[in-house]
Amino acid sequence: MEIRRIPYESEDYGRLLELRRVILREPLGLEWSSEDLAHEAEEWHFGAWEDERPVGCLSVRWLGGGRVKLRQMAVETDRQGTGVGRCLADAVLGVVAQAGATVVELHAREAAVGFYERLGFMVEGKPFEEVGIRHRKMAKACGASAGELENPGMEHHVYFWLKEEKRNTADQARFEAGLAKLAESACVSEGHWGTPAATPERPVTDHSWDYAISFRFASMEDHDKYQGDDPHHTGFVEAFKDWWERVEVRDLEC
């Protein structure tokens, strides 16, 4: 997946605008108005791309005084829950921090509050209605001031090498279903699985593994619970422990 800033009124900008319309406006029966798009030329627009297909978008509006507002976060329906939104938000937050932002704010639909909380945002004030939907204002420090925030989360990466007899279509489909079920654990704040990317062979790359998972935990306690008695984890291990010839775990504190 590639994340890049998109010039206003470019062809790619039009594709991101259409993604926003389909995901954010169409379900509400809304279309764009001139007022909706009045400040688009002044904003920074970012897209997440897979094989030149836009799968996510996010815009930034500079408010002055080091404050910025994240707007119009949208992820393609078939890529929601796979980490696209997390990767996009992390990348954009990094860009605005380098550009001098000290506080980032946004208006989150109530259904998305948990997602932004896992990114370090905190709710401010009372609920309010926007485009007919209940929202919450959220904000977080970034850049130099972000060091005052405590982030005890971690990422858990596991690589699987299947036994040769399990490398067939039927067994792989069953294993993939098991990985998808594993990612549904309540202990996991963000998770997805995948296979080796078709990147060029280099001395430092390893494409020999068959599957991998990348899970984020909001705290070490959530990770320990997952490794302990979480039924999703224990059930996965019990079902597939004889399927792999090798497993490697790499954990990242963040």
| pLDDT tens, residue by residue, 173-182 | 999 999 999 9
Helices of type H across 30-133: 84-98, 113-118
Please, are residues 252 and 157 in contact by the beta-carbon 8 Å criterion? yes
Q: Taking Cα atoms as reference points, which of 22, 19, 91, 89 lies closest to residue 55?
A: 19
Residue-wise pLDDT tens digits, 117-171: 988 899 888 889 988 889 999 999 886 555 444 445 788 999 999 999 999 999 9
Superfamily of domain 2-148: Gcn5-related N-acetyltransferase (GNAT) (3.40.630.30)
Q: What is the CA radius of gyration of the chain?
A: 20
Which class is 154-253 in CATH? alpha beta
pTM over the 0.75 mark: no
SS3 (DSSP) at 128: strand
Residues paired with 253 in a beta bridge: 154
pLDDT above 70 covers what percent of the chain? 95
Nearest-5° angle of CA 50, CA 95, CA 51? 5
Long-range contacts of 81-85 (CB under 8 A, 24+ apart): 81/183, 81/192, 82/192, 83/190, 83/191, 83/192, 83/214, 84/1, 84/48, 84/55, 84/56, 85/56, 85/115
Domain ranges of the chain: 2-148, 154-253
